[in-house]
Amino acid sequence: MADLKTACDTILSDAVNGPLRVPGVVAMVTNQDRDIYSGVMGDRRIDGPAMTEDTVFAIFSTTKAITATVALQCVEEGLLDLDAPAATYAPWIAKLQVIEGFGDDGSPILRAPRNEITTRQLLLHTAGFGYDFFNKTYQRLVEEHGQPSVVTALRASLETPLLFDPGDRWEYGTGMDWVGQVVEGVRGKRLGKVIQDRVFDPLGMQDVAFTRTDDMKSRTATIHARGPDDGLTPMDDFALPDDPEIDMGGHGLYGTIPEYMKFIRMWLNDGRGPNGPVLKPDTVEWAVKGSLVPPQQVKMLPGVNPSLSNDADFFPGLAKDWSYPFMVNLEEAPTGRPAGSLGWAGLANCFFWIDLKNRLGGFWATQVLPFADPVSFSAFMDFETAVYRATKNISAP
């Protein structure tokens, strides 16, 4: 794997040392059995402490796949009907209405939804929820009506109107946070406790939590803002809340990248972990298939709040679907990622992919806003491309 190390080290070095750079990066690659590459370069805080493999990241929406996993476990046990009303398990979702615009006085125009939200729709992002940094209606609710941002982890941040009737189309948003509330209703426990008991402990995952220990805080990377001049400014006062009111299943976890690789390996092994199964193989088989109903499709994410996100589109021009935990690329990607592979990202420019064909997965972690940072995202694409070039002789067992 010398070629893999040389190629990837060069990409990481360029990312942290170029004229346009990221402060620091941790990038890793795994096969079914072990990590085959780990690279660490740059700083946790620009011109500050060095990045290390055990650096803690705000992993944002890479949390979603973990929350989906505990929901799938509920399905396996017959405790969760994906097509029953989600209000069966999270009753307070039933009060939400559809927003049809704003009146002349600026007040929201609301009506009852034509059908009830299901957990299947929440998992697939077809329930009607969005994000204020990707949707102008939600952005207006934040700016004009005091709707709390999801980064507050307040219950009120989830009590948003629906953008459309449940099931009508795909829109990326807070559905997985609601899945977390469904899981809490099924299990009768906080989401963090469920995940700890049913995913982290079986996989031996440490240093991953909704609330950081003091030791984790001391190793946490600072999020940086990229300004109009492409410079980087540390956001020392910006962090996801520890001891949140709600464990946000869509984005709330902190963790180290070596620990997340254990989760990726579980999927590469058809649901098996080192201490036994986390998911059944037949669950994995149906859960990773694209499940949107045409004309529903994964679309570009418009960056309506430039401080938090640029326009974001994974593999423009290629068809993409959504499985229960992941995005699915339906065509081979320019990087070499095969059709049918899985992946997603986190707001501060963390990216991962899971290739079940070649039993290969990777994670690229930086802490930069806005999302779809051209420096970090381009380097991630280069990193993934280098991985496939260096491992082109790998074949599935």
The model's pLDDT over 297-317, given as tens digits with 9 standing for 90+, comes to 999 999 999 999 999 999 999
| Mean pLDDT across the chain | 96
pLDDT in tens, 148-162: 999 999 999 999 999
Report the C-alpha dihedral over residues 124, 127, 133, 139, rounded to 10 degrees: 180
Q: Look up residue 387 and give its amino acid.
A: V
Residue 313's alpha-carbon distances to 143, 177, 186, 310, in angstroms, are: 26, 22, 35, 10
> Which residues are catalytic, by number?
61, 64, 172
Instruction: Summarize pLDDT for 23-45 with one digit per residue, the tens.
Output: 999 999 999 999 999 999 999 99
Which regions in the chain score pLDDT beneath 50? 394-397
pLDDT at 2 (0 to 100): 73
Which domains are delineated in the chain?
2-61+206-272+303-390 (3.40.710.10)
- pTM, two decimals, is 0.97
How far is Cα 115 from Cα 295, in angstroms, rounded to an integer? 19
